[in-house]
Amino acid sequence: MKSLSGIKTITFDVDNTRRDFETVMRRGLKASLDELTKLDPGAAPLLDIERMIQIRLEVFDKL
C-alpha cells in the first residue's frame, strides 16, 4: 500500500463546483478495483464499477 505521508491537503467539494464527482468517484473505484485485483484476484471479478456504485447507493438508502 502506498504511504499517505505525502498528502498535504484534503478538500471537500459538496456542490461539485471544483470537481465532477461522478468522474472522480469512478476513477477512485477503478483504483480500488485495481488494488483488489492485486490483493485478491479471486474476489475482484465479482465486482465492477457499476456494481460498486449500486452497492454505494443501496448503503446510502439504508442510512
Residue 8 lies in a domain: no
Residue 51 lies in a domain: yes
Exposed e or buried b per residue across 2-19, where buried means at least 16 C-beta atoms within 10 angstroms of its C-beta: eeeeeeeeeeeeeeeeee
Residue 25 lies in a domain: yes
Question: In which domain, by residue range, is 35 found?
Answer: 21-62
Residue 41 lies in a domain: yes
Residue 11 lies in a domain: no
Residue 35 lies in a domain: yes
The H-or-E segment that residue 58 falls in is helix 49-62
Tens digit of each residue's pLDDT (9 = 90 or more) over 19-49: 888 898 999 999 999 999 999 999 989 999 9
| pLDDT attached to residue 11 | 80
Give the count of domains, the chain: 1
Residue 16 lies in a domain: no
Whole-structure pTM value: 0.71
Please give the backbone phi and psi of residue 14, each rounded to the nearest 5 degrees, phi first. Answer: -70, -15
